[in-house]
Amino acid sequence: QVQLVESGGGLVQPGGSLRLSCAASGSNFRINNMGWYRQAPGKERELVALITTSGNTRYADSVQGRFIISRDNAKNTVDLQMNSLKAEDTAVYYCNQVGITGTYWGQGTQVTVSS
């Protein structure tokens, strides 16, 4: 059974940083593409960043240059380093795994950017 557990969310002031982490279990982590999505109140869930099995990355235009996604195949984790946070980054952030067995989601972690 695949499980994705996010951690690291919280309240941060504009311009601050947060690091989210997602711990995966129940699958062969290294052969799955991993990603972070977010959903703000009243909006659809959107892609924030993804990282492929080979380490290639892709970012939403709104976070390019501020966020960095990384993975550790030895620890079965995928992290999202978020810098220069803005109020518009406030959302629930979800870890996502896509592989041959299907698509899976974590339960989400709240990120609130406010002074």
* CA distance readout (Å), 101 to 4, 28, 94, 97, 109: 14, 10, 19, 10, 24
Q: What share of the chain is helix, strand, coil (3-state, %, to 5)?
A: 5, 55, 40
Report the pLDDT value the prediction gives residue 30, as an integer from 0 to 100. Answer: 78
Residue 18 pairs with which residues in a beta bridge? 82
In this structure, what token pair is assigned to residue 43? 């909006």
Rounded distance, CA 114 to CA 111, Å?
A: 10
Per-residue pLDDT tens digits of the chain, which is 115 residues long: 899 999 999 999 999 999 999 999 888 887 889 999 999 999 999 999 999 999 999 999 999 999 999 999 999 999 999 999 999 999 999 999 998 888 999 999 999 999 9
Contact present, 87 and 14 (Cβ < 8 Å): yes
* Tokens at 10, concatenated: 């919280």
- The residues, ordered by sequence, that sit 6+ positions from 27 with a Cβ below 8 Å of its Cβ are 2, 97, 99, 101, 104
Quick one: pLDDT at residue 66? 98
Pick from 81, 41, 86, 38: nearest CA to 60: 38
